[in-house]
Structure 1
Amino acid sequence: MKRTPVILSLILMLLLATCLPGPAMAAADTPFNLHTVVLTTNEKSALVDNQPVTLPAAPRVEQGVTLVPLRFLAQTVGMDVYWNQEAKTVTLSVYDQEIDLTLNSTAAMVNHQPYQLDQAPRIIDGVMMVPLRFIVSAFGAGVDYQPQTHEITLTIVPPAPPPPNQPPVARFSVNKTTVAQGETVIYTDQSYDPDGDKLIAEQWTGKKRAFFKPGQYTVSLQVEDSRGNWSQQAQVTITVTNTVLMDEVTYNLQNPIPGEPLDISRLKASQLPELSPQRQDGTRTLLMSNSPEKITTDGILYMDTVAGPVRLFYHHTNDSTVDRQVYVVAANPNSYPVNITMERQATAGPGDPMSMGRAGTSRFLQQNSVMPQPPIQLPPGQSINLCQADVPPGQTVHGIFDLNADAPVTYYFITVSAGTTGPLFDLPLLPPDPLHTRGTFQQCDRRLALTVPGGKNSRLILADGKSDPYISGKNAADNTTVTDKGNYGVLYELDLTSGTRVGILANARGGPFAGAMRFNGQTFNVPSTDGVLANPDRGAMVGVLMPNQPARLWFMPPSGSHLPLNLLFIPF
C-alpha cells in the first residue's frame, strides 16, 4: 500500500486536542509553539520537529476523509480537553476558541455554532480518531497539497492569547464639592472593570450623606472585581462651609435611615423626662446558658425540664486551646411521646462576643414573620440534637431558639472537645462563673404599649433594672435565685402611637453596644455600621412615628453588649 506523508504546521494543531474516554487531559505546558509534524498514513511512526515519536494509532484515510489520533495532537500542542462520559462528547478549547465533538455523530459545534462533519469521530482500536479536514475548515486553515509528493501542508493563524487581566478602576463623582453643613451630598459610582469582570465589593472611606462641621473632607473609594483584584483609590475632596443648613439630629429626622449613627449630644439624653408604658408579660420560659461564659473543659453547661413555650439562649466562648463543640439537646423524660415545634431559631459564630450577639439577635428578629416548622414527635426516653456549634479556641458562639412542647422536656446545653464520643448526659455539670448568668426565667416576653406625647422630647428606658425591672428566676442546679441583669434573652414588643410626627433614636447608656431592632417589619443593626455605640453622646436612628399611625418595634438586648438602652422620642 502507498504511504502518504502529511506535514502540518502546528499553529493549526494548537486548536486540536485529544481524549480517550476517561478523565480530562491536562494541557501541555507551552501551547502555541510552532512545530513541524510529519505523519504517514497507516504508520505509527512520526516526526515532531525532526524527532521520532510513536503514535497511539496510525493516521488513516477512509472514504476520502483523513482521520488522525486526537491524543497525539493534544499532547503535542497543549489543548484543554474534557471528555463527558455520560454524553459521549469531547470539548477542545484554547483561549476563546472551542470545538465540541460527539462520538459517532457528524453534528459538531464550533464556538457554539452548529457545524456538520464529513465523517463522525470514532474510537478505533481504543483510540479516538477525528477528521482532519473538519479541524482545518473550522478554524479557516490554509491548505497546500502537492500531488507529486502526496504532501499536505496545513497552516492556520492561532488566536492571540488574551491580554493580562487588568485591575478594576474606581471612579465616582459628587453633585457638589462645596456644601453647607447638613446639605446632602449625592455620590455617583462610575467604577468599571476594563476586562468586563463583575465588580463584587466596594470600600468607601470618609463617605457621609452630609457633613456637620466646617472643613475639608477626603472621600475615597476602592472596588474589587470577581478575580480578587482591587483598584487604586479614587478620591474627591469636599469642602464644608460655615453655613449651617441643618444640624445632625434634624438632618437624620428629615432623612431617616434605620440604624444610622449620629451625634446626639445637643439632646442631653440623660436629662429627658421618662415615659411609663403599659406592660404585659408573656408566658414563655427562658433557659439561659451564659455561665460559665468561658468554657475550658467538657461538661453540661445548664439543664432544666420545662413544658410549653420556651426560649433556649446560649452565649459561650472557647477559652481552651482545642476546638470545641456546643450542643443543644432536647430529651423526653416521659413515658409517652412529646410533640416539639420549632417556632424560630438563630445562630451566630464563631466570632467575637459582641459581633455574635448582634448577629444572633438580628437573625432572630428577622424571623418574626416566619411560619413555625412542623412538629417533631419525640418518643419516650429519646433525645434530639437541636444544634451543634463548632467553636475554635478564642471564638464565641451564640444561639436563640423558640420552641413549644406539649409536655415536659429536658433541655441540655453541653460542651465537649471536638471529636469526643460517648454519652453526653453522663458529663458533669460545670460550675457557673461569678459574673454571668444561667438559669430558668418565667415570662421572658415583654409587651409594652406607649402613646408618645408631642411637643417635647422624652425617653423610654429599657433594661436598667429600675424603670424596666430585670427578670428573676432559678438556677435549676441548686434552686438559687438568679437575676438576668440586662434582660438578655427578653423579647420586647413595643406598640407605639403619637398624635404628632416623632423621630425615634436609640441611645446606649451602659457602655459599648452593638445590637439590632425591627421597626414596622424592617430589621436593621444598631448602629448600622460594623462599629458600636460606645459614647453616650452617640445614638442611632430607629424610625419615625407618623401622626395617628400605630407602629411596632421589636428589640432584644444583645449578648456581649452593655445595657440599659434609651429610646429617645423627638417631635419634629
Structure 2
Amino acid sequence: MKSWKKLFITCVAAVQFITVIPIVAAEGNTTTTDNKQVTSEITQEGSSSIQGEVDGGTDTDQDTDEVKGTVDENGNNNANSTSNSGIGAGDAGKDVLVLIANSNLMYQDGTEYKSPQPITVKKGVSYIALRSLVERFGLQVNYDSKTKETIIASGDKELRYKVGSSNYRVNGKATQMSGASYMQEGTFMVPITSAMQAFEMPYQWDNKTKRITIELSAPPIAKFSVNEKEIFAKQTPVTVTNESKSPRGLQIVEEEWTGLQDYYEDPGVYTVSLRVRDERGEWSAPYSVTITVLKPNEPPVANFQTEKTTYKMGEYIRYQDASTDDDDVADLKREWTNNKPAFFEPGNHTVTLKVTDKYGLSSEISQTITVTSETLYTFDEFNKVYTPVGEVYPHDGSTVLGLKLLKPEFSENNRTLYRSNSPENVKNNGILYQDNVAGGARIFLHHINKKSNNLQLYIVVKNISDDPANFTVEHSGLAGPSPYPQQTGKMASVRYFESFEKNDKATEMQLKPNETKVVIPELNQRPLKPDDTYTLYADFYGSTTLEYTVVALDADKDVLTELPNLQPLATDEHIRGTYINADRNFTVREEVGKGERLVFADKINDKDLTGTDMLTYQDMVNKGNYGVLYRVKLEKVAPHTLIAFNSRGGSYSGAMLVNGQTVNTPNHGLISGVDEASVVYRTGDYEEKVEILFSPAAGSNLPVNLLFLPMPKPRS
C-alpha cells in the first residue's frame, strides 16, 4: 500500500480539479459561477481526469503512513479537527487552503469550511469532493450536455471530467489520472492531484499535523521567443513574441526587459531576459534566451561568363554562372534577362543576371554579346538540334500531315483492359466497375469526386475460383488527389513508365478461395476532397479467375464492410468497359529519319478497341484507346534524326519510355496544340534501334504523332 502521504497528495490534486463541477451536480444542488448553473444532471455523468500525480509538491516527511481516523455515518470526522490537524481557524495564511486528512474540514485565509464528504482514500488514491475545489479555488464551472463532461476553467486552462473515467482532458488533451472519479452519497469525488497539477498549484504535506497546504495564488510566468532565426549585426531588426501568462488568469500589467535591442551593433552572444508583473503586483521569475548575433551579411556578387563575346546567328551560347556569396551560393535566386541560347538577328545583345540571397541582398551584372550577319543554323534547324529532351519547341503543324505516314507491322498481346472512367464525375457511393478475368489485366482509372464530402477510391480483388490464387501487381502509376485532371493524367503516366525504368519489384500476394483483398493501398491513403481527381495505370496478373471491383465510398466508411451492399453506378458521357488484347505492338522495319510520322489513336490507321460494359452488357468503344499500352520497335533510325511528339487533337501532357528512360511529353506545362512539338530522342552519328512504350495520358487529347525528322549535321 502506498503511504498516506503519497496517496493523500494524489487525492488532493485530483480532487481540486475534478471535484469542482461534478460534486455540485452530484449533490443535487445548484451552484452558480459566472451566471451559469450546474445542476444535479452533471453528476449523473463522468468527468475526465489528469494524468498522474502532481510531482511539484514538497513532502516534509519521507516515511509517512496513511492517516488513521474514524468517520461517522454522516461522513464527518469524529476527531477534534484542531487537535488532529494541529491548526485552528486562524492558522491558515493568506491565499492558502489547508485540507485535513480523513476530515471534511478545510481552512482558507483563516476561515473554516466544511466539505460535503471527507477526504477519502480508495485503492491508495486520495479523493476530495469536487464541489469543495470549485468553491475554494474560485474556478469557473460549466457542463457539456453533449459530451457529459464537467468543465472547470481558470486562466488559459480548461479541464473536463467525466464520472467513472480515469482520464480527463486538459485543453482538449486526454490525460491519465491516478484513479477513476466516482459518486459517493450524491457527491462527485475526484483524485486530489489532478487540479493541482493542471493549474500549477504548489502544495505541501505535513506528516505531523496530517494536513495538506495548497498555495492558491501563483506568480505570473514570463516567457518569450525571438522571431528571427538569424540575426546580423546592424542589419536585422529584432522582434519578440511575448508568451507570458498568469496561471490564475490575471492580467499582465508590466514588462521588464533586459538586454533586448532593436538592432545589435556588434556580432557576439547576448542574453535577453524578461520579468512580468500581474495586476495583483506579483512579479515573475526572470526568463532568459541566449541569441547569437552574426557578422553583417555581405551582398552576393553576380557574375557569368560565355565562351566568347562574338557569335554567328543560330550559334549556341553557353552561359556559365560564376556568381559568389559569403553564404551558400546554391541558395541564390537567379533572374536572367535575354539569355537566349542563340540569337537570329545581327547586332549587339545585352544579357543581364541578377542574384539575390535569402536575406534580400542582391547584385546584378550585364554583358554584351555581338552577333554577326553569318548564319550557322536557322531558327528551325537550331530548335531541332539544341532543344533539350522533354522541352517544347515551335513546329509548323501544317507540315505534319505532309510527312510520310508509316504503316507498322501490327500485333496484339493478351492483356485485358478495365477502363474505369464512367461515371467520371462520381456523385454517389457505389461500384464504378466490376468484371472477372484470369491472367494479365490492366486497370485504367480516372475519376473526379463530385460529392460534397471526402470520397475514397478502392480496387478490391476477390478470388472467385475454387483454387488458391497468386496475385501480382506488375507495374503501376498513381497520381492525385488533385483538382487538375490533366496533371494527374500526366503524373500517373510518368510514374507508370518509371516503374518500368526502375524495374520495381513486383508486389505479390496469395488469395484463398473466396478471399477478398484491397490492392494498390496507395489509392486509398489520401481521400479525394470535392472536385479532386485520381488517375491510375496498373498492370496485374492472376493465376486463376479473379473478380476486380473499383469502388467509390465515403472516406469514413469501411470498404469490405460496405461492399456487399453497394450497387453499380450509372455511367455518364465518359467510357468504361472490358477490352481484350490491350497491348499493341508496332514494328517499323524500314529506315526512318527522312521525314515520317507514326500516328496513334486516329480511329483509321490505329482503330479504337471494342469491348463490353460488363455491368450493363452494352457494346463499348474505347475512344482514344486510353489504357492501351503501345510497344513501338524502330529497327532502323537514321543518324542525326530527331524523334518529336506532336499532338493533333488539342493540348497534351504525358510521358513515354524511350530505350528504358522515362521522357516527359513535355517536361513542364503542356503541348498546347498542333504548332508545338516536344523532343523525345535524337540519334548520333550512327544508325540506331529505338524502342518506345507509350500509353495515352488521361485528360489529354488524341490523336498524336511521333515525328521522325532529319537534323542538320553538326556545324561550327
1:116-164 alpha-carbon deviations (Å, 9 max, x no partner):
xxxxxxxxxxxxxxxxxxxxxxxxxxxxxxxxxxxxxxxxxxxxx2257
Match of 1:551 in 2: 690
Match of 1:318 in 2: 449
Q: What is the alpha-carbon distance in structure 1 between the residues aligned to residue 569 and residue 413 of structure 2? A: 30
TM-aligned CA distance change 1:201 to 1:376, over 3 Å = farther
SS in 1 for 2:627: coil
Match of 2:488 in 1: 356
TM-aligned CA distance change 1:337 to 1:200, over 3 Å = farther
Matched, 1:475 2:613: yes
Q: What is the alpha-carbon distance in structure 2 between the residues aligned to residue 520 and residue 228 of structure 1? A: 45
Match of 1:210 in 2: 342
Alignment of 1:488-507 (within 5 A): 488-498=626-636, 500-501=638-639, 502-507=641-646
Q: What is the alpha-carbon distance in structure 2 between the residues aligned to residue 222 and residue 379 of structure 1? A: 65
Q: How far did 1:192 drift?
A: 4.6
SS in 1 for 2:466: coil
TM-aligned CA distance change 1:170 to 1:541, over 3 Å = farther
TM-aligned CA distance change 1:417 to 1:204, over 3 Å = farther
Q: Which of 492, 496, 499 is residue 367 of structure 1 equivalent to?
A: 499
| CA-based RMSD | 3.6
Q: For the Cα contact (< 8 Å) 2:397–2:675, is it kept in 1? A: no
Q: What is the alpha-carbon distance in structure 1 between the residues aligned to residue 472 and residue 499 of structure 2? A: 15
Match of 2:164 in 1: none
More helix by share: 2
Q: How far did 1:548 drift?
A: 3.9
AA aligned to 1:383 is T
Match of 1:397 in 2: 534
Q: For the Cα contact (< 8 Å) 2:432–2:552, is it kept in 1? A: yes
Match of 1:386 in 2: 519
SS in 2 for 1:366: helix
Q: Which of 226, 244, 252 is residue 375 of structure 2 equivalent to?
A: 244
Matched, 1:456 2:594: yes
Q: For the Cα contact (< 8 Å) 2:637–2:683, is it kept in 1? A: no
Q: How far did 1:540 drift?
A: 3.3
Task: Indicate the structure (1 or 2) with the bigger Cα radius of gyration.
Answer: 2
Match of 1:521 in 2: 660
AA aligned to 1:194 is D
Match of 2:573 in 1: 435
Q: How far did 1:194 drift?
A: 3.4
AA aligned to 1:449 is T
Q: What is the alpha-carbon distance in structure 2 between the residues aligned to residue 233 and residue 325 of structure 1? A: 51
Q: For the Cα contact (< 8 Å) 1:222–1:232, is it kept in 2? A: yes
Q: For the Cα contact (< 8 Å) 1:262–1:541, is it kept in 2? A: no
Q: Which of 274, 287, 306 is residue 437 of structure 2 equivalent to?
A: 306
SS in 1 for 2:697: coil
Q: How far did 1:165 drift?
A: 6.8
Match of 2:320 in 1: 188
Q: What is the alpha-carbon distance in structure 2 between the residues aligned to residue 362 and residue 432 of structure 1? A: 30
Q: How far did 1:343 drift?
A: 0.9
Q: For the Cα contact (< 8 Å) 2:428–2:451, is it kept in 1? A: yes
Q: What is the alpha-carbon distance in structure 1 between the residues aligned to residue 444 and residue 361 of structure 2? A: 41
SS in 1 for 2:625: coil
- More off after superposition, 257-266 vs 228-237: 228-237
SS in 2 for 1:368: helix
Matched, 1:536 2:668: no
TM-score after normalising by structure 2: 0.53
Q: What is the alpha-carbon distance in structure 2 between the residues aligned to residue 491 and residue 204 of structure 1? A: 41
TM-aligned CA distance change 1:268 to 1:349, over 3 Å = same
Q: For the Cα contact (< 8 Å) 1:302–1:429, is it kept in 2? A: no
Match of 1:424 in 2: 562
Q: What is the alpha-carbon distance in structure 1 between the residues aligned to residue 463 and residue 332 of structure 2? A: 48
Q: How far did 1:299 drift?
A: 1.6
1:15-66 alpha-carbon deviations (Å, 9 max, x no partner):
xxxxxxxxxxx996499xxxxxxxxxxxxxxxxxxxxxxxxxxxxxxxxxxx
AA aligned to 2:492 is G
SS in 2 for 1:503: strand
Alignment of 1:148-297 (within 5 A): 161-163=293-295, 172-175=304-307, 179-196=311-328, 199=331, 208-212=340-344, 243-255=374-386, 257-265=388-396, 268-297=399-428
Match of 1:107 in 2: none
Match of 1:340 in 2: 471
TM-aligned CA distance change 1:404 to 1:177, over 3 Å = same
SS in 2 for 1:354: helix
Q: What is the alpha-carbon distance in structure 2 between the residues aligned to residue 224 and residue 328 of structure 1? A: 49
AA aligned to 1:414 is V
Match of 2:176 in 1: none
Q: How far did 1:404 drift?
A: 0.5
Q: For the Cα contact (< 8 Å) 2:593–2:708, is it kept in 1? A: no
1:375-412 alpha-carbon deviations (Å, 9 max, x no partner):
20012222222235522222221111111100111111
AA aligned to 2:679 is A
Q: What is the alpha-carbon distance in structure 2 between the residues aligned to residue 512 and residue 358 of structure 1? A: 12
SS in 2 for 1:297: coil
Q: How far did 1:534 drift?
A: 2.5
AA aligned to 1:475 is D
Larger RCO (alpha carbons 8 Å, 6+ apart):
1
TM-aligned CA distance change 1:364 to 1:78, over 3 Å = farther
Q: How far did 1:181 drift?
A: 3.5
Q: What is the alpha-carbon distance in structure 1 between the residues aligned to residue 635 and residue 698 of structure 2? A: 29
SS in 1 for 2:651: coil
Match of 1:414 in 2: 551
Q: Unpaired segments of 5 or more residues in structure 1?
A: 1-25, 32-75, 80-92, 98-160
Q: How far did 1:508 drift?
A: 0.7
Q: How many pairs were matched up?
A: 426
Q: How far did 1:300 drift?
A: 1.4
Q: For the Cα contact (< 8 Å) 2:652–2:700, is it kept in 1? A: yes
TM-aligned CA distance change 1:540 to 1:193, over 3 Å = same
Match of 1:562 in 2: 701
1:91-115 alpha-carbon deviations (Å, 9 max, x no partner):
xx98798xxxxxxxxxxxxxxxxxx
Q: What is the alpha-carbon distance in structure 1 between the residues aligned to residue 424 and residue 435 of structure 2? A: 18
Q: How far did 1:491 drift?
A: 1.3
SS in 2 for 1:568: strand
Q: What is the alpha-carbon distance in structure 2 between the residues aligned to residue 274 and residue 202 of structure 1? A: 45
Q: What is the alpha-carbon distance in structure 1 between the residues aligned to residue 539 and residue 341 of structure 2? A: 39
Q: How far did 1:308 drift?
A: 0.5
1:321-378 alpha-carbon deviations (Å, 9 max, x no partner):
3222211221222333211011111111122111111111111111214154252001
Q: How far did 1:172 drift?
A: 3.9
Q: How far did 1:196 drift?
A: 3.4
TM-aligned CA distance change 1:195 to 1:330, over 3 Å = same
Q: What is the alpha-carbon distance in structure 2 between the residues aligned to residue 188 and residue 514 of structure 1? A: 31
1:275-327 alpha-carbon deviations (Å, 9 max, x no partner):
10111211111111111112222221111111111111111122233222211
SS in 1 for 2:638: coil
- More off after superposition, 233-242 vs 246-255: 233-242
Give percent identity, aligned residues only: 33
Q: Unpaired segments of 5 or more residues in structure 2?
A: 1-220, 227-270, 275-287, 712-716
